[in-house]
Amino acid sequence: MANLHGNTDRHTSEDMPLDINQAQSSDSILETRSLTRDFGQMRAVDNVNLDVKAGEVFGLLGPNGAGKSTTIKMLTTLLPPSTGSAAIAGLDVVRQASLIRRVIGYVPQALSADGSLTGYENLLIFSKLYDIPRKHREPRIWDVLEFMGLQDAAHRLVRQYSGGMIRRLEVAQAMLHQPQVLFLDEPTVGLDPLARSYVWALVKQLRAEYGTTIILTTHFLEEADSLCDRVAIMQAGKVVVTGIPSELKASLNRENTTLDDVFIHYTGDQITTGGTNYREVSRTRRTARRLG
């Protein structure tokens, strides 16, 4: 393993990925081993090894097209890996997919709430999808509505919600069955700063009150710095570095280092550029517009 401290040369993808605190797999709730996904000739996720501890907020960072969403889709059983393996709470994502779905929640980038229904109705549908027993549904729905600060809007149509309220409803949907691990794929894309800070507060509260392990992707490095216990930076399908944000920043041995500096150091890229194609841009803009 390369020595991170004092090394200010740009990291290349040929190097071994760095892990500056080397999580032990024994207390991991999520593990991937050589997780790989190909789309035809294109390798979207390339031999990714991750260990996430129970109760951590873990950030997956990387430029557009780095492989973050594809990784999340494999972990949430929506896409089978080409090779390699992944386990959550000791369950294999391929062989035990239906059991995995009971212990995870997932908020995708694309809209997952139906605008023509009320918030309550959306939650009722999810409570049935999650097989929550009939007598527990209503109290559970009111619990999550209250937790997300949406109880007064419960019977309003979702199309009348603000972008921030829709995001909170989507997190509520994903939390109904009290998952051990919650995946948030760009939870604050398209939100204004106030709504974004509300979502940050919610993530912190979820972890504090329920001990939920949270795995999020984001393009906002300030957000990752504020929320995440550890981050992994991906580039071209590989994890190039994993670590605690403060230690990653300190390791550059520069004054006033931000996570942006760390990101540029390891990827040589500004997070808003590089590898972007029309499909990705239009998807992000579509999501932002629908939330906005």
Ligand X SMILES: Nc1ncnc2c1ncn2[C@@H]1O[C@H](COP(=O)(O)OP(=O)(O)OP(=O)(O)O)[C@@H](O)[C@H]1O
- Residues forming contacts to ligand X in the complex (CB under 6 A) are 39, 42, 44, 62, 64-70, 277, 280
Please answer whether residues 233 and 62 qualify as being in contact, where contact means their C-beta atoms are separated by less than 8 angstroms: yes
CB of 236 to ligand X, least distance (A): 9
Nearest to ligand X of 172, 185 (CB atom): 185
CB of 143 to ligand X, least distance (A): 32
Nearest to ligand X of 62, 105 (CB atom): 62
Beta strands in the chain (DSSP E): 18-19, 28-39, 42-53, 57-61, 83-88, 91-92, 104-107, 181-185, 213-217, 230-235, 238-243
CB of 271 to ligand X, least distance (A): 9
CB of 238 to ligand X, least distance (A): 12
User: Who's near 214: CB < 8 A, 6+ residues apart?
Assistant: 56, 57, 58, 181, 182, 184, 203, 206, 207
Nearest to ligand X of 237, 245 (CB atom): 237
Report the alpha-carbon distance of residue 86 to residue 215 in Å, rounded.
Answer: 14
CB of 47 to ligand X, least distance (A): 15
User: Who's near 145: CB < 8 A, 6+ residues apart?
Assistant: 119, 120, 123, 151, 154, 172
Nearest to ligand X of 22, 270 (CB atom): 270
Identify the CA nearest to 291 among candidates 154, 127, 168: 168
Nearest to ligand X of 33, 43 (CB atom): 43
Nearest to ligand X of 70, 173 (CB atom): 70
Q: Compute the C-alpha angle 56/17/23, nearest 5°.
A: 30
Nearest to ligand X of 69, 76 (CB atom): 69
CB of 191 to ligand X, least distance (A): 16
User: Who's near 23: CB < 8 A, 6+ residues apart?
Assistant: 51, 52, 53, 230
Ramachandran bin of 85, using left for φ above 0, alpha for ψ from -120 to 50, beta for the remaining angles = beta
* DSSP bridge pairs for 39: 42
CB of 215 to ligand X, least distance (A): 13
